[in-house]
Amino acid sequence: MPTWFRITGRLEGFSFLALLLIAMPLKYYMHIPAGVKIMGPVHGFLFLAYCASAFWLASEQKWSVKQQILAYLAAVFPFGTFMFEKKYGIEPLAEPCYQEISK
């Protein structure tokens, strides 16, 4: 899958976890709402970017309806985008930077 889809998915996943694990406890336990005011819109933008990129990639690569629904649901659940990436065999971001030398 294209690198931009993987990056968007990972950024969306990390922003969701930051919102749930850092910003929300700061707001409700320490009464510091600044984290939610910052991370909320950032996560919202990344959520929309992920859904748009999933829609575009699904139409380009002719994903099944099941795979499309799973891609959208992955954005709603914590760790969902990471599990979707692992389940559908998305290759790592870095390619090996060496070449075999023939003798």
pLDDT tens-digit series, residues 67-100: 999 999 999 998 999 899 888 765 554 555 556 6
Distance between CA 53 and CA 84 in Å, rounded? 14
Instruction: Note whether 13 and 81 are within 8 A (CB).
Output: yes
pTM of the model: 0.79
Question: Residue 96 domain-assigned?
Answer: no
The predicted-structure confidence for 21-55, as pLDDT tens digits, reads as follows 999 999 999 999 999 999 999 999 999 999 999 99
Domain count across the chain: 1
C-alpha 47/C-alpha 53 separation (Å) is: 10
Residue 98 lies in a domain: no
Does any domain span residue 99? no
Q: Which range of residues forms the domain containing residue 44?
A: 3-87
Question: What residue type is 89 in one-letter code?
Answer: G
Output the pLDDT for position 61: 85
